[in-house]
A and B are shown apart, each in its own frame.
Chain A
Amino acid sequence: ILNVEQSPQSLHVQEGDSTNFTCSFPSSNFYALHWYRWETAKSPEALFVMTLNGDEKKKGRISATLNTKEGYSYLYIKGSQPEDSATYLCASPRGSTLGRLYFGRGTQLTVWP
Chain B
Amino acid sequence: DSGVTQTPKHLITATGQRVTLRCSPRSGDLSVYWYQQSLDQGLQFLIQYYNGEERAKGNILERFSAQQFPDLHSELNLSSLELGDSALYFCASSLSAGGDEQYFGPGTRLTVT
**By the criterion CB–CB under 8 Å, are A99 and B99 in contact?**
yes
Q: Which one of B2, B56, B102 lies within 8 Å of A97 (CB-CB)?
A: B56
User: Number of A interface residues, CB 8 Å?
Assistant: 23
Q: Tell which of A13-21, A63-71, A102-110 binds the partner.
A: A102-110
Complex formed: what's the CA distance from A44 to B92 in Å? 9
List B contacts of A42 (CB < 8 A). 106
Distance (whole angstroms) from the CB of B42 to the closest CB of chain A: 5
Complex formed: what's the CA distance from A89 to B107 in Å? 17
Chain B 28-49, CB within 8 Å of chain A: the 1/0 string?
0001010000000011110010
Q: Which one of A51, A99, A104, A105 lies within 8 Å of B98 (CB-CB)?
A: A99
Per CB-CB distance, the 3 closest pairs between chain A and chain B, nearest first, are A99-B98, A98-B98, A98-B99
Which residue numbers of A lie inside 8 Å of B, CB to CB? 31-32, 34, 42-46, 49, 51, 89, 91, 93, 97-106
